[in-house]
Structure formats: C-alpha cells, structure tokens
C-alpha cells in the first residue's frame, strides 16, 4: 500500500509541477490554471476525493474498534493498516488540492491535518511496542502478568531451595537487584553451585529466572507505553476534530460561493 501512496505522490508532483512552481501572482495566467487551482476540475476533485478517503478511513476504523462493525470479517490490525493507508493518501491528495497555497481559516484545517498525520506516525510507533493478540486487541497488564510463572512454588517444591535463596532469585527475576546484571547472575550461579545442585538443573533454574526477569522488564515497559499511548490520543483525536469542524465550515463556504465541481 505504501507503494500506491508513493506512486500517486510522484504522479501528482509530475503532472502539476509546472503549475505548482509558478508563483501565486502568475498562476492566473498559467494555461492550466482552471484545471489545477483548488476550485478547478482537478484541484477541487483532489480535495473531495482526499477528504472522502480520510472520512472513510477514520469512520471504518472507529466503527470496527468501538462498535465491532464487521468484526467477524476483518481483523482490527488490518483495519489499522487500512486507516493509515487512507489517512496518509487522503492528506496527500488534499495537499495537492490546496495547490500549495495555504490561506484563510481553512489553513488551520490543513495544519491540523498535518499534526494528525505526524502524531499518527508517532502513535503507530508506540502502538507496535505494546503486545497485542493476533486479532489486534491490546493485551491488558493482567494478561501479560498471567504469563509469569510462580517462581516461589517451583523453586521450593520442585528444586527444594530454602527461603533465603528463593528470595534472592525472586528479587533477581523482578529486576530489583540493583547491582549489575552480570555480577548478580554470577552470584546466583555460585549459590547453586555451593548447594551442589546438578549442572542441568542449575541451567534450568537460571534460564527460568532469566526469562522471568526479561518478562518483568517487559511489563514495566508495557505500563509506560500504555500510559504514553493514552496521552497520545490527546494529540491525535482533538486535532482530527478541529480539522473536521473547520472542514465543514470550509465546504459550507465554498458551497455558499457556488463552487459545484463537475456536478
Ligand atoms: C481536509 C480537507 C481540506 C483542506 C485542508 C482544504 C484546504 C484548502 C485550502 C488551503 C484552499 C486554498 C485557500 C486559498 O485560496 O487560500 C482550499 C480551497 C478550496 N477548497 Fe478546500 N480543503 C479541503 C477539502 C475540501 C473539500 C472537501 C472541498 C469541496 C467539497 C473543497 C473545496 C475547495 C474550493 C472550492 C476551494 C477554492 C476556494 C476559492 O478559490 O475561493 N475543499 N481548500
Ligand atoms: C488526517 C489523517 C488522520 C485522521 C483524521 C486520523 C484520525 C484518527 C481517529 C479519529 C482515530 C481513533 C482514535 C480513537 O479510537 O480514540 C485514529 C486512530 C489511530 N490512528 Fe489515525 N488519523 C489520521 C492519520 C493517521 C496516520 C497517518 C497514522 C499513522 C501513521 C495514524 C495512526 C493511528 C493509530 C495507530 C490509531 C490507533 C489508535 C487506537 O487504536 O487506539 N492515523 N486516527
């Protein structure tokens, strides 16, 4: 899909290059002014098609995410890809609709659109850091926590370790041991060796606590990312709303001025 966006952008640049590079005062005399200007057949069309893409890309994602629309047929993560595709291509068409002339209050809609797109890129980055089910549903903290093993139980029942040793291992697995990781792994190895635990069993125990430690790290990161993602909506959503409101005014004004496009 990225390739479609790229080809379209190159085509739009190529086809209107001579018009877009003409200064605003001289455009009026350009032979294709009536075609490329924002109210021209081509320019106006780009505005309408681009806006429809954005509106469709947003509504279908919200319909699926919040109201389970078509949930049996399409996974949320594919719709997110689709949202990103339509909401990247749409703004590019709108950019060419403006013919790089950003005037009036509608320029606020334009810059809000730019803000939404940029925030989208950041949000996408945060989003992929958060574990999701294959369906694209975000895993809750508890679901991830449930992946943790019951270390205390396994270490005491299966490996017969005493309470002090278990505490040492649990601290390590929670990443609470502040000394650097290598030296504390050495310490654990030494404890197991001193207790004459067979090599294979030592390996099993060490691997298990290492896994737990990495899972603890993931949980901590997940908590941060989820918080960050919540704040991220505070940028993405309101800019989208500002854009929508000014867009409605913009369209109402153009209709009031009698711009009809090809119909
Ligand atoms: C997010 C969507 C849109 C943005 C950001 C946008 C932005 C702009 C900008 C910056 C201009 C140039 C203003 C100027 O001359 O200084 C413009 C002109 C225009 N737009 Fe849009 N537009 C959008 C959607 C639409 C839609 C959906 C329509 C039609 C239904 C439309 C119709 C027009 C018309 C007719 C003009 C020419 C107005 C004139 O020459 O006075 N636009 N638009
Ligand atoms: C004009 C363009 C765009 C508009 C108007 C727009 C609008 C929206 C809206 C209204 C939502 C729903 C938020 C919610 O459920 O609370 C959303 C979700 C999202 N958008 Fe966009 N978006 C645009 C472009 C983009 C782009 C370009 C990207 C990425 C590169 C992006 C990434 C996302 C992500 C990751 C979500 C998912 C949020 C979630 O599921 O919690 N958006 N967008």
Q: Could you give the number of structural domains in the chain?
A: 2
Same domain, 137 and 151: no
- Residues spanned by the domain of 78: 2-22+34-142+234-256
- Residues of the chain above pLDDT 90, percent: 51
Q: Are residues 117 and 195 in the same domain?
A: no
Q: How far is the CA of 257 from the centre of ligand 1 (A)?
A: 12
Considering the domain architecture, whether residues 123 and 55 belong to the same structural domain is answered as: yes
For residue 97 and ligand 1, the question of a CB distance below 6 A is answered with yes
Is the minimum distance from the CB of 84 to ligand 2 under 6 angstroms? Answer: yes
Q: Which ligand is nearest to the CA of 256?
A: 1
Distance from C-alpha of 112 to C-alpha of 95, rounded to nearest angstrom: 12
Question: Smallest Cα–Cα separation from 40: which of 16, 11, 8, 22?
Answer: 16
Specify the pLDDT at position 219. Answer: 84
Per-residue pLDDT tens over the stretch 176-232: 555 567 778 888 889 889 888 889 999 999 999 988 888 888 888 888 888 898 899
pTM assigned to the model: 0.83
| Residues 194-212 as b or e (16 or more Cβ within 10 Å = b) | eeebeeeebeebbebbeeb
Q: Based on the domain organization, do 202 and 117 belong to the same domain?
A: no
Q: Whose CA is nearest to atom 13 of ligand 1?
A: 103
pLDDT above 70 coverage of the chain, percent:
97
Atom 21 (ligand 1) nearest CA:
47
Residue 109 is predicted with a pLDDT of: 93
In this structure, are 6 and 105 located in the same domain? yes
Whether residue 94 sits in one domain with residue 56: yes
Binding site membership of 85 for ligand 2 (Cβ less than 6 Å): no
Same domain, 156 and 201: yes
Q: What is the pLDDT of residue 176?
A: 58
Looking at the fold, whether 41 and 133 belong to one and the same domain comes out as: yes
- 1 or 109, which is more confident? 109
């Amino acid at each position: 899909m990225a390739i479609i966006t790229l080809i379209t952008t190159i085509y739009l640049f190529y086809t209107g290059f001579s018009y877009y590079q003409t200064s605003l005062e001289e455009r009026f005399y350009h032979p294709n002014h009536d075609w490329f200007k924002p109210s021209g057949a081509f320019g106006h069309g780009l505005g309408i098609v681009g806006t429809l893409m954005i509106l469709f890309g947003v509504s279908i994602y919200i319909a699926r995410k919040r109201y389970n629309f078509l949930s049996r047929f399409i996974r949320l993560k594919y719709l997110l890809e689709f949202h990103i595709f339509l909401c990247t291509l749409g703004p590019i068409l709108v950019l060419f609709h403006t013919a790089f002339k950003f005037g009036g209050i509608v320029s606020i809609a334009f810059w809000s659109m730019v803000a939404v797109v940029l925030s989208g890129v950041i949000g996408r980055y945060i989003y992929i850091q958060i574990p999701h089910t294959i369906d694209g549903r975000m895993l809750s903290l508890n679901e991830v926590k449930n992946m943790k093993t019951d270390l205390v139980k396994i270490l005491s029942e299966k490996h017969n370790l005493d309470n002090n040793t278990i505490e040492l291992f649990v601290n390590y697995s929670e990443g609470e041991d502040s000394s650097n990781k290598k030296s504390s792994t050495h310490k654990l190895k030494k404890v197991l060796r001193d207790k004459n635990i067979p090599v294979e069993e030592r390996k099993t125990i060490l691997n298990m606590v290492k896994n737990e430690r990495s899972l603890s790290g993931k949980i901590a990161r997940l908590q941060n990312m989820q918080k960050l993602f919540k704040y991220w909506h505070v940028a993405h959503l309101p800019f989208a709303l500002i854009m929508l409101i000014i867009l409605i005014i913009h369209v109402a004004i153009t209709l009031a001025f009698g711009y009809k496009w090809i119909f």
